[in-house]
Homo-oligomer: A and B are copies of this chain.
Amino acid sequence: MHLDLAIDPVELTAVLVDVPSVSGNEAILADAVHDALAAQAKHLELARSGNTVLARTNLRRPARVVFAGHLDTVPVNDNLPHHRTGTGADLVLHGCGTVDMKSGDAVLLTLAAAVRDPTHDVTFVFYDCEEVEAARNGLGRIERELPEWLRGDLAVVCEPSNAVIEAGCQGTMRVEVRTSGRRAHTARAWMGENAIHAMGTALRTLADYRPRRVDIDGCQYREGLQAVGIRGGVAGNVVPDACVLTVNHRFAPDRSIEQAEAHLRDVFDGYDVTVVDRAPAALPGLAAPLAQQLITATGATPVAKLGWTDVARFAALGIPAVNFGPGDPTLAHTKAEHVAAAQITACAAVLRRFISS
């Protein structure tokens, strides 16, 4: 299929949305992106890895900006093809991927084709499998196989952020807190030891926990410590010998993974604690000169990113990274996903200003 990168990014969003690309099935869209860049952005060096398409300038500018957008979406939920409501300045595009994140991809693709003489060198990464387990993530594969393509002085991940810079991201860690006991018939409960009862103190600790609020580079990160699951029990007349509480901790970027784990072991002192999932936080990195330029281009004050995104990968590589893209992140993954055309237009204008001035 053919993509015209010269059209308005709002219209290009609609075209991209109507090419289904659920994680693992990005080939048609990746081919189209590759072919469009090859034909319509001849000033860019192109590369391909699986269903990830990479493009960059080599202008020996003093600094390089890496722009990243994933091509995949969560499963379609009876919300394709796209439809429209409103007109003109009130136009809204509805459908799977309008927010997360084909509107961001459209902004990047038009930018890639249109700005042939940017003031910074630019790299574009359109990657696959962001919406599934981390091991399949296309950006992770590029990091392993083509690491030089991720080098730069600022990374802009165009995940939905309501067209405001969302800086850094919180880390996330999931732990299992376990208690053990001894089974017995409930008619002779004193012969057993109840593992569910033993979880009471841990739950009270959670209820009483006061999460930190951490200010970094003017962004406030609100931490969190939440039970997300609990299970235990053998039968209706048996004192249970095991209980498992799953807890999700979101931590501010002033803490490493190791520090976050140490904190959880301290909070649940006396319990058996196992880390089952973890991803590092990313510092906002807004002090970087390029980040300051991007802030100026937006004309707005950055806010903290609360969820976890691939900016953390760039931060782990030592590259300041921000989220900046059209769409309300709380609509991502919902059937009612929709984006205001005005946000797409605004993002495109900001990024064009950023790399042209």
Residues on A lying within 8 angstroms of B by beta carbon are 170, 172, 174, 185-190, 192, 194, 196-207, 211, 222, 224-240, 243, 245-246, 248, 250, 277, 306-308, 330
Q: Is the CB of B222 within 8 A of A229?
A: no
Q: Is the CB of A238 within 8 A of B231?
A: no
Within the complex, the shortest CB–CB distance from A184 to chain B, in Å, comes to 9
Q: Is the CB of B231 within 8 A of A235?
A: no
User: Can you report 27 A-B residue pairs in the complex whose CB atoms are below 8 A from each other?
Assistant: A172-B237, A174-B236, A186-B224, A186-B226, A186-B228, A187-B306, A187-B307, A188-B222, A189-B211, A189-B226, A189-B250, A190-B222, A196-B230, A197-B206, A197-B226, A199-B230, A200-B200, A200-B203, A200-B207, A226-B239, A228-B237, A228-B238, A228-B239, A229-B232, A230-B233, A230-B243, A231-B231
Q: Is the CB of B229 within 8 A of A240?
A: yes
Q: Is the CB of B231 within 8 A of A230?
A: yes
Q: Is the CB of B197 within 8 A of A227?
A: yes
Of the residues B236, B243, B248, contact of A186 by C-beta under 8 Å: B248
**Please, which residues of chain B bring their CB within 8 A of the CB of A189?**
211, 224-226, 250
Q: Is the CB of B234 within 8 A of A228?
A: yes
Q: Is the CB of B174 within 8 A of A194?
A: no
Give Cα A243–Cα B246 distance, bound, in whole angstroms.
13
Give Cα A308–Cα B203 distance, bound, in whole angstroms.
33
Q: Which residue of B lies closest to A198 (CB)?
A: B207
Give Cα A218–Cα B239 distance, bound, in whole angstroms.
27
Q: Is the CB of A250 within 8 A of B194?
A: no
Within the complex, the shortest CB–CB distance from A252 to chain B, in Å, comes to 12
Known contacts A197-B206, A222-B190; A230 and B230 CB within 8 A of each other: yes
Q: Which residue of B lies closest to A250 (CB)?
A: B187
Within the complex, the shortest CB–CB distance from A309 to chain B, in Å, comes to 11
Q: Is the CB of B224 within 8 A of A233?
A: no
Give Cα A203–Cα B198 distance, bound, in whole angstroms.
8
**Please, which residues of chain B bring their CB within 8 A of the CB of A197?**
203, 206-207, 226-227
Q: Which of A186, A190, A248 has the most C-beta atoms of chain B within 10 angstroms of its own C-beta?
A: A186
Within the complex, the shortest CB–CB distance from A196 to chain B, in Å, comes to 4
Q: Is the CB of B250 within 8 A of A186?
A: yes
Within the complex, the shortest CB–CB distance from A312 to chain B, in Å, comes to 13
Q: Is the CB of A233 within 8 A of B246?
A: yes
Q: Is the CB of B308 within 8 A of A187?
A: yes
Q: Is the CB of A307 within 8 A of B185?
A: yes
Within the complex, the shortest CB–CB distance from A135 to chain B, in Å, comes to 16
Q: Which residue of B lies closest to A224 (CB)?
A: B189
Within the complex, the shortest CB–CB distance from A246 to chain B, in Å, comes to 7
**Please, which residues of chain B bring their CB within 8 A of the CB of A170?**
187
Give Cα A232–Cα B174 distance, bound, in whole angstroms.
16
Q: Which of A199, A239, A307 has the most C-beta atoms of chain B within 10 angstroms of its own C-beta?
A: A199
Within the complex, the shortest CB–CB distance from A254 to chain B, in Å, comes to 17
Q: Which residue of B lies closest to A211 (CB)?
A: B189
Q: Is the CB of A228 within 8 A of B224?
A: no
Other A-B pairs beyond A189-B225, A200-B205, 16, CB < 8 Å:
A172-B187, A174-B236, A186-B228, A187-B308, A188-B224, A189-B211, A190-B222, A190-B224, A192-B226, A194-B226, A196-B203, A196-B228, A197-B227, A199-B230, A200-B202, A227-B233
Of the residues B188, B194, B230, contact of A232 by C-beta under 8 Å: B230
